[in-house]
């Protein structure tokens, strides 16, 4: 038994991080690379990810 929590939806950060599992929904969200970016740009990236997560949550099964 795994101690890792399970999820029905996964949004990987890199394409190579995407193993395929049956009955899972995969979302490919384009995300800018924050490496070396100004703090304001990193905050915008963070806020965009947060908005996508907030939009996604109601669609997940209980």
For residue 3, is it within any domain?
Answer: no
**Residue ranges making up the domain that contains 52:** 9-59
For residue 39, is it within any domain?
Answer: yes
Total tally of structural domains belonging to the chain:
1
Instruction: Give the helix ranges, DSSP H, for the chain.
Output: 39-56
For residue 2, is it within any domain?
Answer: no
Mean pLDDT (the chain) is 78
Q: How confident is the model at residue 18 (pLDDT cuts 50, 70, 90)?
A: low
Q: Is-above-0.85 flag for pTM?
A: no
pLDDT of residue 22: 62
Q: Give whole-number Cα distances, 59 to 17, 18, 27, 36, in Å.
A: 23, 21, 13, 34
């Amino acid at each position: 038994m795994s101690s890792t929590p399970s999820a029905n939806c996964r949004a990987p950060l890199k394409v190579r991080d995407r193993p395929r599992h049956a009955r899972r929904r995969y979302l490919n969200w384009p995300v800018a690379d924050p490496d070396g970016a100004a703090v304001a740009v990193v905050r915008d990236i963070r806020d965009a990810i947060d908005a996508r997560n907030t939009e996604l949550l109601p669609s997940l099964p209980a």
